[in-house]
Amino acid sequence: MTGTPPGTPDPPAGHRTIEQILAGARRRLRRLGPDEAGRAIRAGALLVDIRPAAQRAAQGEVPGALVVERNVLEWRFDPASAARLPQASGYELHVIVMCSEGYTSSLAAASLQDLGLRNATDLAGGFRAWAAAGLPVQPART
């Protein structure tokens, strides 16, 4: 997307567009395609599904993925947080964040890197790319 829609107020000094923020997040990540992510998971990486319940119900799920909705991700994976999950075992944890198409997951993985999880990354293309690659998918749990 380029240009500013008509009627948009002048942005404040130093603002960044979401496209700029996304590009900056992705520069920090070593994003994984579906096949590479599958190999990393078999080697011990943790696949984290941050899609909301409605998307999981409509699209299905990846067997074995840990579901942690986006709004609590940082609290659940910060090793210093009292609200962390047992899987948040330390700063070296290899986390692969998955959303529906691979946009929100890039921002989320960069946020985990900000917490010190330097091996956090995301699944390029998200769940849709995973399913299109013919990797395991199951109907959503009810």
pLDDT of 98-125, one tens digit each? 999 999 999 999 999 999 999 999 999 9
Burial degree of 113 (CB within 10 A; 0-12, 13-18, 19+): middle
The CATH number linked to 80 is 3.40.250.10
Instruction: Name which residue leads in pLDDT, 65 or 12.
Output: 65
The pLDDT value recorded for residue 104 is: 97
Q: What is the value of pTM for the model shown?
A: 0.90
Q: What is the mean pLDDT of residues 68-95?
A: 96
Would you say residue 76 lies in a domain?
yes
Instruction: Name which residue leads in pLDDT, 141 or 23.
Output: 23
* Per-residue CA distances from 131 to 22, 35, 85, 113 (Å): 23, 11, 27, 26
- pLDDT for residue 73 is more than 60: yes
Position of tokens 């960069």?
A: 110
Q: Which domain holds residue 105?
A: 43-132
Would you say residue 16 lies in a domain?
no
- Calpha distance 135→127 (Å, rounded): 10
Would you say residue 128 lies in a domain?
yes
pLDDT of 4-15, one tens digit each? 778 878 888 888
Would you say residue 24 lies in a domain?
no
The pLDDT value recorded for residue 9 is: 83
